[in-house]
Chain A
Amino acid sequence: MTPASTALSAPVSAASGKLRYLGYAVLLLAVCALPFLVSNYRTFQLTLVLVYAIALLGLNILTGYNGQISLGHGAFYAIGAYVAAILMDKFGVPYYLTVPVAGVVCLGVGFLFGLPALRLEGLYLALATFGLGVSMPQLLKDKHLEHWTGGVQGIVILKPDPPFGLPINQDQWLYYFTLAVMLLMFLLGWNLLRGRVGRSLIAIRDQPIAAEAMGVNNALYKSLAFGVSAMFTGVAGALGAIAVQFVAPDSFNIFLSITFLIGIVIGGLASIPGAIYGALFIQFVPNIADQLSKAAPWAIYGVFMIGFMYVMPVGVAGAIRIALARIRHRTKGGGGSQKS
């Protein structure tokens, strides 16, 4: 009896492991094939989904894993976008170099913002970051910076051409470029979060005093979380600017920050795939909301937000996780009793 059951369970788990990798490979292939299957506009939209996914992963690192609420991440997105635009427009820097520069700049700015934020908790931090998000457009329109930022009109940049004369159009090339950066960032994030850093962040979120007592340097990690989070969002901003070919102050208002928050909450906090679900939501649902109610799409959005808090507070990723756990639990019980 017993040897039969163990013989049954072993190949099942090995198969499920291999199945998983096969699944990822198929998914990757499908994702790469997409630009050739859909219109240019759709490709552009999907590029934005990738961009938002990076931004949302950034916000999730700070809010989901580390518990620091930010209502101002639109500001870091804006900084990344403007860094890229200014470098390309004023200094002729090639587009692919602007992305890492934007990341580094936002890493620094985020870390600096994280320092005073150390003393703020919960609602107060939300308040301070809310202030950041609200005041960003005004800062960008400031007369003293107009020479760089282009003031109210913003900056227009050119879409880059595919390199090495590849036989694809600009939208498709941008998609692959963004996809490559996104995979890199997600790998970086995954690596960061599954190790000691991730556990420290979560410990700080759940039991800050105990964490400190166990030797975690709360101040350092919390500021770093801010910095890294801003870096991700800044990279996203740069990519977004390149995709949209345009930066202007009023596109980076408080509603952008709110949109990001909606994205991680609905996608799923403290979850890497959650960033992708959230990105899909914030890119495509406003279109649906628009169709549902031409006049008040944000009202529908708001209803969605509140509804999710009642019904699915763990977000899409959380709900999927729970559903999968239930299925796994059921099949495990079924498999065990199948023998002889």
Chain B
Amino acid sequence: MDAFLNQVFAGLATGGIYASVALALVMIYQATHHVNFAQGELAMFSTYIAWTLIDAGMPYWPAFFLTVVIAFILGVVIERVIVRPVERAPVLSVVVVFIGLLVIFNSLAGWIYTYTIKVFPSPFPKEPVHLGDHLISAHQIGAVGVTLVVLALLYVFFRYTPLGLAMRAAAQNPDSSRLVGIRVGWMLALGWGLAGAIGAVAGMMVAPTVYLDPNMMSGILLYAFAAALVGGIDNPGGAVFGGFMVGVLENVLGAYVIGNELKLAFALVLIVSVLVIRPSGLFGKVHVTRV
């Protein structure tokens, strides 16, 4: 029983990481109705920016917040400059552009920072915390906490602020949004900016655990996709729940059923199953499209 609970806690810890990346994915989807395949690489690149600042002597939290701001601006710029020309293009063109971004950022990171792994600091204390009989690193709890805080902020933003409402409207119905005066183009850019910021936070929470290298996010991205789909691609709360669920399932199944090596395949099976059985996920809204 003990070992099982250990796996569950470890799963919750990794799940927190998936949850935060899933949040960024859902963010972009809510704002643009696009799935951003480059989300992981952008998050990784932002983490490298933080690393550069810290390496140059900046204390952790100022570097953290500055990185978040830079990542926000980077997101906005990417949307306005690179994604906007293909906004009305067929899905395949958009997918190709996203994959292009993925490839560019992965390669740039490798070029600028090389592929040797780097240590990324954690702002949380080093001593592990006792939860009953179990030990969990303070960082993992802290990371989960940060994710939940971000989630709460997002929820409030989308539900209760005029700008959040406008962003949701712009993604769902751009034409009607223009008719009420919403500047749709800037709403999309804002969505990307927010996703970039969230991704940066996720990356900075992930890096202390898995060490910083250009391919840090590739495995995580797939789990994050699975988490976002399980929770419902248009539901931030669902994405976070999905993240924890995927983390726990991954660890428990990995330990007892399928072995560690097939974990990615598990994510694949999960994705396909969700998409086939219940595409709107556990908490997403079921959309009926009119013919």
Contact = CB atoms under 8 A, between A and B. Distances in A.
Question: Does A touch B (CB under 8 Å) in the complex?
Answer: yes
B97 A124 contact: no
Given A69-B91, A123-B91, A296-B110, A132 B268 contact: yes
Contacts of B259: 142-144
Contacts of B275: 116, 119-120, 124, 127-128
Interface in A117-165: 119-120, 122-124, 126-128, 130-132, 134-135, 138-139, 141-144
B118 interface: no
B103 A309 contact: no
A120 B276 contact: yes
B33 to A, nearest CB: 9
A135 B96 contact: no
Given A123-B34, A306-B82, A131 B222 contact: yes
Given A116-B276, A298-B103, A302-B100, A131 B92 contact: no
B111 A309 contact: no
Contacts of A119: 275-276, 279
Contacts of B276: 116, 119-120
Task: Place the interface of chain B in its size category.
Answer: 35 or more
Which of A63, A255, A297, A305 has most B Cβ within 10 Å? A305
Contacts of A123: 34-35, 91, 95
Nearest to B91: A122
Nearest to A146: B261
Contact of A254 (B108, B218, B261, B272): B218
B177 interface: no
Given A128-B272, A141-B261, A296-B107, 18 more contacts: A116-B276, A119-B275, A131-B226, A131-B272, A135-B222, A139-B262, A142-B259, A142-B261, A143-B259, A254-B218, A255-B103, A265-B92, A269-B92, A298-B107, A302-B104, A306-B100, A306-B104, A310-B86
Contact of A127 (B86, B110, B262, B271): B271
Contacts of A124: 275, 279
Interface in A238-293: 254-255, 258, 261-262, 265, 269, 293
B86 A116 contact: no
A4 B218 CA distance: 68
19 contacts: A71-B37, A119-B276, A124-B275, A128-B271, A134-B222, A135-B267, A135-B268, A138-B261, A141-B261, A142-B259, A209-B291, A258-B99, A295-B110, A296-B108, A298-B106, A302-B99, A302-B102, A302-B104, A309-B100
A265 B90 CA distance: 12
B265 interface: yes
Given A127-B229, A142-B261, A301 B103 contact: yes
Interface in A301-317: 301-303, 305-306, 308-310, 313
Contact of A302 (B85, B95, B107, B265): B107
A19 B201 CA distance: 63
Interface of A: 63, 69, 71, 116, 119-120, 122-124, 126-128, 130-132, 134-135, 138-139, 141-144, 209, 254-255, 258, 261-262, 265, 269, 293, 295-299, 301-303, 305-306, 308-310, 313
Interface of B: 34-35, 37, 82, 85-86, 89, 91-93, 95-97, 99-104, 106-108, 110-111, 218-219, 222, 225-226, 229, 259, 261-265, 267-268, 271-272, 275-276, 279, 291
Contacts of A141: 261
Which of B96, B106, B271 has most A Cβ within 10 Å? B96
Contact of A142 (B96, B226, B262, B291): B262
A141 B262 CA distance: 9
Contacts of B268: 128, 131-132, 134-135
A305 B91 contact: no
Contacts of B106: 298
B264 A258 contact: no
A264 B79 CA distance: 25
Contact of B104 (A122, A209, A303): A303
A217 B11 CA distance: 44
Contacts of A142: 259, 261-262
Contact of B225 (A131, A303, A305): A131
A262 B92 CA distance: 11
Contact of A313 (B34, B93, B218): B93
Nearest to A144: B259
Nearest to A253: B218
A134 B37 CA distance: 12
A83 B225 CA distance: 30
A119 B279 CA distance: 9
Contacts of B272: 116, 128, 131
A134 B264 contact: yes
Contacts of A305: 96-97, 99-100, 103
Contacts of A126: 35, 37, 91, 95
Contacts of B93: 309, 313
A127 B265 CA distance: 14
A127 B218 contact: no
